[in-house]
Structure 1
Amino acid sequence: MEMGYDDDDHHHGHEELHVLAVDDNLIDRKLVEKLLKISSCKVTTAENAIRALEYLGLGDHNQHIDTLTNNNLKVNLIITDYCMPGMTGFELLKKVKESSNLKEVPVVIMSSENIPTRINKCLASGAQMFMQKPLKLSDVEKLKCHLMNCRS
């Protein structure tokens, strides 16, 4: 007797978290992606905040495709580096929080620098959490647990 294909999808009892990971550093981006995948999250990566905004449908040159596929692209969490060229993670956070469609999506900021004023500024502007880089698996598990509690 063969099992149905649906079993894998409902295996965890929760829908899979879809995380958008944004970091200009390839090594950091790959690390975050790996940790999230170990924690059974679906991951999309972007190498900068501008690409992330385009993916989220907030780019300056919005293609019509974005609206058509928006349901497949639903992101449950954005995790972004703070220091990036062009647009910082803080600016990305502000754009997400200004968007009526996306303001409910939690944004987590990562930074290798532990600067209290920066951390407070991000949290005051709506960041869900501020995490020290390099991220560890325990950070990702804690974050995932926090998100599941918020969503249930």
Structure 2
Amino acid sequence: MEEELHVLAVDDNLIDRKLVERILKISSCKVTTAENGLRALEYLGLGDPQQIDSLTTTNVMKVNLIITDYCMPGMTGFELLKIVKESSNLKEVPVVILSSENIPTRINKCLASGAQMFMQKPLKQSDVEKLKYHLLKCRN
């Protein structure tokens, strides 16, 4: 039986977040959403060190992929990517950056900092299939 992928989808725009969630669920992924980078870090157990408890470490192991918007207030997707890649627990989790802007320097900066892929918004069903193929290939 194929293991269900658990995706953490991070986007400050509710409509974009719901779209990503729906497309991923159609592709039989389990989806957790966060409305910003700080919420995502809390979920991943990288928030306020005073709040970290034994529950947060169980979340970490269950996330197979993080999909984040690039432009968000407070913390960009790029900043979230850097924190995830610097974390000893999470650095192996693939991070995909979504952006409505196609800026080559931004794309290169994200990929050079460890992003698995950089995709144009809005996310499409074909993008998810590509992602799943890429992820399953990496895990085997």
For 2:23, the equivalent position in structure 1 comes to: 35
Instruction: State the SS of the aligned residue for 1:70.
Output: helix
The reply to whether residue 75 of structure 1 matches residue 63 of structure 2 is yes
Aligned 1:63-142 pairs, distance under 5 A:
63-65=51-53, 67-68=54-55, 70-72=57-59, 74-142=62-130
For 2:35, the equivalent position in structure 1 comes to: 47
Going from structure 1 to structure 2, the CA distance change for 1:69 and 1:58 (only over 3 Å counts) comes to closer
Q: Which has the higher helix share?
A: 2
Instruction: State the SS of the aligned residue for 1:59.
Output: coil
Residues in 1 aligned to 2:41 and 2:58: alpha-carbon distance in whole angstroms: 16
Q: 2:5 is matched with which residue: 1, 8, 17?
A: 17
For 2:139, the equivalent position in structure 1 comes to: 151
Q: Is the 8 A contact 1:106 1:128 kept in 2?
A: yes
CA RMSD of aligned residues (A): 1.2
Moved over 6 A (4+): none
Instruction: Report the residue type matching 1:124 in the other structure.
Output: A
Alpha-carbon displacement from aligned partner over 1:81-106 (angstroms, at most 9, x marks no partner):
00000000000000000000000000
Instruction: Report the residue type matching 1:14 in the other structure.
Output: E
Using the TM superposition, give the Cα deviation of residue 62 of structure 1 relative to its aligned residue in structure 2, in angstroms.
4.6
Identity among equivalent positions (%) equals: 85
Query: Highest Rg: 1 or 2?
Result: 1
Q: Is the 8 A contact 1:46 1:52 kept in 2?
A: yes
When normalised by structure 1's length, the TM-score is 0.88
> Unmatched 5+ residue regions in structure 1?
1-12
